[in-house]
Structure 1
Amino acid sequence: MAQASHEKTDQGQQSNKVRLAASSEDITRRQEPAKDRIPGFFETAHWTADGTTILTSASSNQISGYVVPRDLLEHHDEPLTLSPQSTINLGETSNVLASAPYFNLADPYTNQLLVSSRDHPIQLYYLFPPSSDGTDIPSHTPASSYPLIKARSETFLSATSLLWPSPGSHFIAGCRNFIAKFDASRTGEEPILRIKTIPSERHLLKGGGVGMRGTVSTLAAQPPDQNHTSVVAAGTWTRWVGLYDFAQAGECISTWSIADAVKETARGSRDGIGGDGITETKWSPCGRYLLLSERKSRGILVYDVRVMGQLLGWLEDRDALSNQRVHCDVFPSQDEFGGFEVWSGTTSGAVKVWEGVGHHAGAQPPAWDWQAHDSTVGSTCLHPTGTVIATCSGAWEFPADESQPTDQQHENERDGGDPQDKDKSETWMHRRSKESTLKIWDLNVSNGMS
């Protein structure tokens, strides 16, 4: 378990529940080539299925694989140094990344990942590919591609979200107003199934009030139960949620807007958690609850999916007041309180933990936290065993005398939009990278492992 039984600590102080076991260098301090004067930063991180490797994506269009040291949990006077064992340089901006659910470090042919880049088909890479010329230098070229083409214009569509669920024979991509299902074995072929989230894009009302309009920004698969359900939760930038059953050819189960639920969090003296577009859908370990995170938000919504569209509560004091994605993770509780735990970073660099989620209605404050980084924590991901947790940080900052709304320009750039204002473009060119590191934290401190 992720140590829910440890003693409580005061929020805002360094917790005695965690110990820094390993850390990468600050990648913003690397010497960059002259053509790229602005160093990139870590945007996302996640564990591979076998728990041996952390995959990261950076704003500099790089994907890296960090193999975890075997002696990670042994006693060391100083934290171990993390270095990437493999790096893939992409030619275009990458929107999303997904690794194979059968990833096994010992078997190179399973070390696969999918990448969606602007103006390209979805591409499959090997993290540790064999070299093509007999040298020890790997050749990171796409092994497979899966085109996603707009029929009327024959232009490439960029997937804005990817989901590669077990057993791995198929994967799912989200786009604007539709979801596509691919057969992973059919390289070079288009989707075997397209599911429109609205009846028609050509309708005057863009769906006529039916369905879920907007860009599908996130996808999450419900954990399988005894009935082997295949429900996928999709969220959009327009603040809509949809549940789709892929065991029934992607049949839409339910859609709803979260705008009214967010207003409910503002009752009383509080201002509410706010929000401006869903950045993540996350299922509880038991599959009964659905978590929804938004950009420019102070909390996470919790829904009981047994009552569609009915808000159970929300996790407050989760500062994510920017356009940057801030990913959370969940883990089952094993104490007397039951429920499950939610771990999330913040824009202030802290990581906060909520315990017993699912057993509380209304607002729920975090149980404890610790200061993990000096900039936004973009991803917080627990190892499958619950013994360690990985965090990555990074963000843009702008000169103090220039306006902050250019943060939106970064989001537009990542989503394929264009700058709309010359002044904002100039401000954007003067951006700087804040501290950006990948860290692994030991959660067994009280058990004498540190």
Structure 2
Amino acid sequence: MSAGLDTRDMTSATDENHPFQPRLVGTTGHFYQGRIAETAVQEGTLSNYGPRSSPDSTQRSQPRNEHHHFKSAQWSPDGTTILTSSADNTLRSFILPPDLLSPPHPKTLEPYALHHPPEPIYATTFHPSYNLQEPSTCLALASPRSLPLRLFSPFAADRILASYPLVSPTTETWIAPHSLLFSPQEAHSFFAGSESCVSVFDANRDGEGPVTKMHTTPSRRGGAVGQGQGMKGIVSALGMSSEGMLAAGTYSRWVGLYDGFGRGGNAGVFPVATEDEIARGGGITLVVWSACGRYLCVVERASDGVGVWDVRGTGKTLAWLRGRNAGTQQRLGVEVVGGEVWAGALDGVVRVWEGLGMAEGVVDPSWGFRAHGDAVSSTTLHPTGPVLATCSGQRHSFSPVRAVGDLDSESDSDSSSFKSSLIDSQSSTNASSRRPPQATDNSLKLWAL
């Protein structure tokens, strides 16, 4: 396995006007543009990166549809590995080549190992102690539907190291959490969000259920959403601030705050729904804190923007970052790094809002660039160096007849061609008209900033 990416030669983007475009340095290319069966055969022939799962397990786990776009991508804490989740119920581990930033470009990205859970994956997360130089720490957690949570190594194909059951006390059915988060205070503890509940597990207790539960509503039969200090709905997003404040967001559009690194009391509950039509959304999919722990960014599906709350100040909406162009039920990831908010969109453009917390009211994106020829499902920056990872794809209602051509030349073109598309408050209704008909782009890309 590679020792990882050397970031000493990277140059940080310091120009406030951003006249340049990110440089494509790695991509999976057209490898995942074909049919699922074809991709499975091709992945089975790869041998230069490491072990592969058996063809039998691949065949058993393939769904009956032909959707296998990338749903998400995330960096390991040490920045050496990318874990992706796809619509074909496959988790893929990519190890960054150590010469990623050296010519020629772009490098071809191939998965090191594949995992094939028999059910769709609702959430994944890396263990906070992940270090590629210490194999015992290379762990990740996944939440498959109708099965216990599973702890696995990204480099041991289809091998489950530990499992954690979460069972409904009334129906005795498996509960699959929609959000996962390891505690920064205790690396062996992790949080799992489900229906009106946040469960706390001990990763050292294989085969055991949660050690404690925090119900987000006083009673399963109690009152309307948000009454008192409770909120009903699936806890679909979890985020921990640098000051130990746990934020829990729900599909019912409520946010709950819990102090003491998630072990303390309820510090407050507030709705993100407002009377302002510009801030409409279809349920929270992500809550992200600023580095200072003061600002909370709330991301929703079927939304054209990102809401920013000043938690330590007024506790009310500070700003609305509009022009996100995410009018879809699909989760489209958002990243907060320093004072910048990065977000992918349905039109394949990554947009950036600068000066987080510096402006109030409606804020337009500062700049953007075209990264893909389809919806950008994840936009995430390297933990220690200016390298951006993006992945793309979405469920199409038609059979793709062609793959989007190579966008490298477009990505290096002048950003002026995309300025007109940075702001579009009507994205939920006209996004499809801006996408090429019958085209797909299922790919993972790495960009040097």
- TM-score over 0.5 (shorter chain): yes
Query: Could you tell me the TM-score, scaled by structure 1's length?
Result: 0.79
Where does residue 327 of structure 1 map in the other structure?
A: 333
CA offsets per residue over residues 53-72 of structure 1, 9 Å max, x none?
11100011100111011111
1:153 positional shift: 2.1
Q: Does 1:160 align with 2:199?
A: no
1:307 positional shift: 3.2
1:4 positional shift: 5.0
C-alpha spacing 1:37/1:322, structure 2 compared with 1 (3 Å): closer
1:205 positional shift: 4.2
In structure 1, list runs of 5 or more residues that go unmatched.
Answer: 10-14, 130-138, 224-228, 267-271, 333-339, 401-431, 444-450
Matches within 5 A, 1:7-406: 8=17, 16-33=20-37, 36=64, 38-76=66-104, 78-129=105-156, 139-166=157-184, 167-203=186-222, 205=224, 210-223=229-242, 229-247=243-261, 249-260=263-274, 263-264=275-276, 266=277, 272-307=278-313, 309-332=315-338, 340-399=339-398
Structure 1 stretch displaced more, 283-292 or 29-38 = 29-38
Aligned amino acid, residue 161 of structure 2: A
1:128 positional shift: 1.5
Where does residue 436 of structure 1 map in the other structure?
A: 442
Contact 1:2 1:331 in 2 (8 A): no
Distance (whole Å) between structure 2 residues aligned to residue 247 and residue 208 of structure 1: 24
Where does residue 411 of structure 1 map in the other structure?
A: none
Aligned amino acid, residue 171 of structure 1: F
Distance (whole Å) between structure 2 residues aligned to residue 209 and residue 176 of structure 1: 18
Contact 1:291 1:301 in 2 (8 A): yes
C-alpha spacing 1:312/1:51, structure 2 compared with 1 (3 Å): same
Aligned amino acid, residue 175 of structure 1: S
Distance (whole Å) between structure 2 residues aligned to residue 283 and residue 319 of structure 1: 21
Contact 2:234 2:250 in 1 (8 A): yes
In structure 2, list runs of 5 or more residues that go unmatched.
Answer: 1-9, 39-61, 400-437
C-alpha spacing 1:2/1:19, structure 2 compared with 1 (3 Å): same
C-alpha spacing 1:247/1:299, structure 2 compared with 1 (3 Å): closer
C-alpha spacing 1:195/1:297, structure 2 compared with 1 (3 Å): same
- Determine what percentage of the aligned residue pairs are the same residue: 38
1:30 positional shift: 3.7
Structure 1 stretch displaced more, 377-386 or 43-52 = 377-386
Query: Could you tell me the TM-score, scaled by structure 2's length?
Result: 0.80
Distance (whole Å) between structure 2 residues aligned to residue 204 and residue 328 of structure 1: 33
CA offsets per residue over residues 127-170 of structure 1, 9 Å max, x none?
123xxxxxxxxx52211111111112222111111011335110
Structure 1 stretch displaced more, 353-362 or 34-43 = 34-43
Q: Secondary structure at the match of 2:36?
A: coil
Where does residue 6 of structure 1 map in the other structure?
A: 15
Distance (whole Å) between structure 2 residues aligned to residue 4 and residue 289 of structure 1: 23
1:108 positional shift: 1.6
Distance (whole Å) between structure 2 residues aligned to residue 216 and residue 313 of structure 1: 24
RMSD between aligned residues? 2.2
Runs of 4+ in structure 1 deviating by more than 6 angstroms, as ranges, are none
